[in-house]
Amino acid sequence: MYKKKYFFIVFEGIEGSGKSYQSKKLFLQLKRKGFSVLLTREPGGTKSAEEIRKVILKDYFYKKKKEEFNAYTDTLLYLAARNEHLQKKIIPALKKRKIVICDRFIDSTIAYQVYGKKVKRSFVNSIHKHILSGIKPNIVFLLKVDIKKSIKRINLRGKKNRYDKFSKSFYSKAQNAFIKIAKNNKSKYKILNSSLDTVDLENQILKIVLKKLDK
* Spatial distance between the Cα atoms of 116 and 111, rounded to a whole number of angstroms: 6
* Spatial distance between the Cα atoms of 115 and 124, rounded to a whole number of angstroms: 12
pLDDT tens, position by position, 49-88: 999 999 988 865 555 555 678 999 999 999 999 999 999 9
CA Rg, the chain, in Å? 17
pLDDT for res 64: 58
* Spatial distance between the Cα atoms of 83 and 135, rounded to a whole number of angstroms: 12
143 SS3 class: strand
Closest CA to 30 of 13, 46, 7, 4: 7
Q: Are 132 and 86 in contact (CB under 8 A)?
A: yes
pLDDT for res 67: 62
pLDDT for res 88: 98
pLDDT tens, position by position, 16-41: 999 999 999 999 999 999 999 999 99
Complete domains list, the chain, with CATH = 7-213 (3.40.50.300)
Report the pLDDT averaged over residues 134-161.
89
pLDDT for res 42: 98
153 vs 141, more confident: 141
> If 0-12 CB within 10 Å is exposed, 13-18 middle and 19+ buried, where does residue 205 land?
buried
pLDDT for res 61: 55
pLDDT tens, position by position, 73-131: 999 999 999 999 999 999 999 999 999 999 999 999 999 999 999 999 999 999 999 99
pTM of the shown model: 0.92
